[in-house]
Amino acid sequence: MLDVRNAAIGARHTITIGAQTIDLETLVGDPAIVAAAAPAAAIYAIGHATSATVDDFDSYADFATALRGAISGGASALALTAQGIYTPSTRTIAASAITVYLAD
């Protein structure tokens, strides 16, 4: 779940669908990013600013566990991108690719 009311969200906070851009702050509630049901190929990555390394995951579960651990350990997200199918009625992105860049 993304907290779009977070004052530290930064200037770039949009969902882009073709030529359409949706400002996250205009949504009624927070959007959710979930794993795509059956992606042909999926890649999930966590970048680390301090060590300049990237951890790649083929499994959303492994990615989510690692991300949860990093955030619980005090890391903050500097950037996030997700590629997949957006469903406006549920504000959900079923992602086959997610990259998070952490200040850790």
Question: Per residue in 57-71, pLDDT tens?
Answer: 999 999 999 999 999
Q: Is residue 1, in this structure, part of any structural domain at all? A: no
Q: Is residue 82, in this structure, part of any structural domain at all? A: yes
Confidence of residue 1 (pLDDT cuts 50, 70, 90): low
Which pLDDT score, from 0 to 100, does residue 46 have? 98
pTM over 0.75: yes
The answer to whether the CB of 45 falls within 8 A of the CB of 54 is yes
Question: pLDDT tens digits for 11-46?
Answer: 778 889 889 999 888 888 889 999 999 888 889 999
Question: pLDDT tens digits for 43-56?
Answer: 999 999 999 999 99
Q: Is residue 4, in this structure, part of any structural domain at all? A: no
Number of domains in the chain: 1
CA dist 24 → 6, 84, 87 (Å): 11, 16, 14
Q: Is residue 85, in this structure, part of any structural domain at all? A: yes
Residue 30 belongs to what domain range?
14-103
Q: Is residue 55, in this structure, part of any structural domain at all? A: yes
Q: Is residue 2, in this structure, part of any structural domain at all? A: no
